[in-house]
Structure 1
Amino acid sequence: MKRVLWSALLLLICGTVVFAGGSGEKSTDLDAIRERGVLIVGLDDSFPPMGFRDESNEIVGFDIDLAKEAASRLGVDVEFKPVDWDGVILSLNKGDIDLVWNGMTITESRQEKINFSKPYLDNRQIVILQAGSGISSKADLAGKVVGLQMGSSAEVALNSDADVAASLEEVKKYSNNVEALLDLAAGRTDAVVVDEIVGRYYIAKKPGIYEVMAEDFGAETYGVGIRKSDTQLKAELDKVLDEMKADGSADEISRKWFGEAIVKK
């Protein structure tokens, strides 16, 4: 009888585990994070000025400073964990990281898989060209090679313009935007589609090499990626972000990185 009862109990436990993990999403939520004492933020560490490595190999950036301030207000330390951007949502839902905070565009396809904080920054998908390329419009991209970061909103934005996407000779996909822009400078591609905030920051570091097309692939907003199950974390993070906007600390961080206050109110 004991053996039968024990077997039944094992079946019940296993069934519960399967049910809880059936969505493939692991929940931690804020209480568990506070008990651990560390908020783990996933990012692409080659995405200036949002998150990147400086000359000392330290991870720095606008989003890094925002996340540090938010974590402090949530009462936890913060750890930054570089991840493959193409698999960042999987990393989040598996529980490898607690948040994605790295200039992440809010898109419908992503919202099907994860939640987002309130938007905190506006952005556009721009087209960067070699200076003097002679390309002046999206129509001029016909038969050209265009680069972009794999798994990025640039890929979504380009594909949303079906006529332009179909006219291209090739779309080259890179693990990060820095590689894409280096290939553009070397003449291995004709254009790069990229977040305006990132692209203009990089252009400023390389004067005379690049120019920006007047046309773009649309406006968008950035948010912090959060697991759908972590409702407590989302509520508290939204509250903290509102406080940071209201007391001017978010603007102060913005001025440090952009020279002006551009945080979305």
Structure 2
Amino acid sequence: MSDAATQGYYTAEEAEAVFQQANDAYGREDYATAQAHYEKLIAHGFGGPDVLYNLGTTHLARGDLGRAVLALEQARKQGGRAADLEANLALARARQVDKVVGAAADEAFLPRLAAATDGAAVAWVFFVAWLVGFALLLFRRVFPSLRRTAVAVVAGLCLTAAVPAAMLLAAHIWVHQNVHEAVVLSPTLVARELPRSEGRSLFEVHAGLKVQLLEETGKYVRIRLPNGLEGWAERDGVAEI
């Protein structure tokens, strides 16, 4: 089971028991009970990549593509990197109605870069490389008897490694602050030219498609498809990852 938060109505032992009950229910193909237990864990502060992955798999077994993709994408965002996670996401996408042409080619570079790397690991690499590099430079000045050339080379390598790590960390921060992704939950969601019901319909999207949220006004949000198409859709029809 994934790491549990310290707050909630369950102790760690109780949460573990609920998690096992959910897994047992899934094994019996009692997907409704399994879903209820996983959702209780999340509501009580005991979520995480494992619970979200299992919840997404349960939704997938029930045919709810929207919530399946949402939970699986949330598991990935929280650090899930299992091969089964990617396999189930691929399976969910294969079942989607929408096959957006140009998705891979037109997707922005920075979000793809951030999705392909672990933000926590990047932060640690930058911190350690920067700290070790400057520490060695300091030691070189304080202890002149050290082999100055060797220390300088190692310090230079550490500080050099810190530069791309810093750039990658900045990319993660920028994506976190500026890129808001969501998943379509409604079986059919109409995107309109204007944020009102009488606005001209531009296109329709369906459950499971991942979109980007650009802005919100009233009960509408402006969404962007992976191929760049934009339109206003009802807020209730999507859920942010």
TM range (shorter): under 0.3
**Higher RCO, 1 vs 2 (CA within 8 Å, ≥6 residues apart):** 1
Structure with the largest fraction of helix: 2
TM-score (norm 2): 0.24
Computing the radius of gyration from Cα coordinates, the structure with the larger value is: 2
TM-score (norm 1): 0.23
